[in-house]
């Protein structure tokens, strides 16, 4: 059985979208993962197939109804897959979460819309609320595409060995070092000398130091975590570009 994604959304036409292309698209075609979409509107109430209502306690915006959401969740096949809700209120998504999801059998994903979802249905299903960053999208669909892209590329057979063998940002808690290719000089800018030296130990040391310098400059949060777990080799590191 391949890895399975079940999506509950008001906009099923947004899927597979970008996931139908490139690595994820090829993997979808060859059956390395599969995708099912479910239209929440199918479970809407009344003539207008209404899915939302005004918030108790007042305030702007509309809230997705628990009964409608519950019917949508029930309609998703593979009811035993972990249930994830994309919402700016969620825990921030990190690469360890992505690896955890990729190691499992698949995910059921609810894409939020409007002001939010009735909390009771999320609690009743022990849904994991996840955010892809500290900004507000108009809905959870682009966030679901981001989540699935990150997970699918980790599934066995999706990445070629050239891609999967690469040192990646976050794999060891550091951002990746900068990359260079031919020509060795471009518009008066030279590639760092050491990369042309053929000295593999020196290249590895330079890359490590560059990763540390970039992480320290751009992501003080990651850098502080890194410094707690290992002794950095920052001395002699190039300035972060
Ligand atoms: N829906 C709206 N904004 C979001 C975000 N930042 N992450 C996940 N889902 C969202």
DSSP result, 14-52: GSSGGGGSHHHHHHHHTTSEEEEEEEGGGG-BTTTTB-E
Residue 49 shares a structural domain with residue 99 = yes
pLDDT score of 230: 78
Same domain, residue pair 117 and 217: no
Q: What angle do CA 10, 117, 143 make, to 5 degrees?
A: 55
How far out from the chain centre does Cα 144 lie? 8
Predicted pLDDT of residue 236:
45
Cα distance between residue 83 and residue 112, in whole Å: 13
Query: What is the distance, to the nearest Å, from the Cα of residue 18 to the centroid of all Cα atoms in its chain?
Result: 13
| Residue 132, annotated as binding a ligand | yes
Q: What is the CATH number of the domain that holds 216?
A: 1.10.1270.20
Query: How far is it, in rounded angstroms, from Cα 213 to Cα 234?
Result: 7
User: What spacing in Å lies between the alpha carbon of 110 and ligand 1's midpoint?
Assistant: 11
Asked if residue 241 has pLDDT above 70, the reply is no
Instruction: Say what the pLDDT of residue 240 is.
Output: 55
Tell me the per-residue pLDDT of 85-107, one tens digit each, with 9 for 90 and over.
999 999 999 999 999 999 999 99
In short, whether 63's Cβ falls inside 6 Å of ligand 1 is no
Residue 159 domain-assigned?
Answer: no
pTM for the model stands at: 0.92
Residue 18 placed within a domain: yes
Whether pLDDT at 43 is above 70:
yes
Q: Is 131 in the pocket of ligand 1 (CB under 6 A)?
A: yes
Q: Is residue 161 part of a domain?
A: no
Q: What is the pLDDT of residue 148?
A: 98
**What are the tens digits of pLDDT across the range 189-239?**
999 999 999 999 999 999 999 999 999 999 999 999 999 987 666 544 455
Q: Which two tokens stand for residue 19?
A: 């996931």
Share of the chain above pLDDT 70, in %: 93
Q: How does pLDDT run across 147-188, given as a tens digit for each residue?
A: 999 999 999 999 987 667 566 778 789 999 999 999 999 999
Pocket test for ligand 1, best of 85, 112, 142, 148 (most atoms within 8 A of CB): 112
> What's the confidence (pLDDT) of residue 60?
93
- Domain interval for residue 39: 3-152
Same domain, 117 and 12: yes
Residue 51 is predicted with a pLDDT of 97
Asked whether residue 137 is marked as a ligand-binding residue, the answer is yes
Closest atom of ligand 1 to CA, residue 87: 9
Nearest CA to ligand 1 atom 10: 87
For 2, 7, 65, 144, 183, the CA distances from 154, given in Å and listed in that order, are 13, 19, 34, 16, 32
- Residue with CA nearest ligand 1 atom 4: 88
Give yes or no for residue 9 CB within 6 A of ligand 1.
no
Residues contacting 232, CB < 8 A, separation 6+: 212, 226
Q: Within this chain, do residues 36 and 122 fall inside the same structural domain, yes or no?
A: yes
> Are residue 60 and residue 26 in the same domain, yes or no?
yes
Ligand 1 centroid–CA 115 distance in Å is 11
């Amino acid at each position: 059985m391949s890895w399975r994604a079940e999506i509950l959304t008001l906009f099923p036409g947004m899927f597979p979208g970008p996931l139908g292309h490139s690595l994820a698209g090829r993997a979808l075609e060859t059956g390395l993962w599969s995708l099912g979409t479910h239209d929440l509107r199918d479970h809407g109430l009344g003539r207008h197939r209404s899915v939302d209502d005004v918030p108790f306690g007042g305030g702007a915006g509309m809230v997705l109804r628990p009964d409608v959401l519950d019917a949508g969740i029930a309609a998703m096949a593979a009811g035993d897959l972990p249930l994830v809700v994309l919402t700016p209120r969620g825990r921030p998504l990190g690469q360890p979460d992505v690896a955890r999801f990729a190691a499992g059998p698949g995910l059921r994903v609810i894409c939020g819309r409007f002001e939010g979802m009735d909390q009771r249905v999320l609690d009743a299903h022990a849904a994991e609320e996840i955010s892809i960053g500290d900004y507000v999208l108009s809905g959870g669909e682009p966030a679901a595409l981001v989540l699935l892209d990150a997970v699918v590329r980790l599934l066995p057979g999706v990445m070629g060995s050239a891609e999967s063998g690469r040192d990646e940002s976050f794999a060891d808690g550091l951002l990746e070092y900068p990359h260079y290719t031919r020509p060795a000089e471009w518009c008066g800018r030279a590639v760092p000398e050491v990369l042309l030296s053929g000295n593999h130990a020196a290249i590895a040391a330079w890359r490590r130091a560059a990763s540390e310098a970039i992480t320290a400059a751009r992501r003080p949060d990651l850098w502080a975590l890194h410094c707690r777990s290992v002794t950095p080799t920052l001395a002699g590191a190039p300035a972060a570009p």
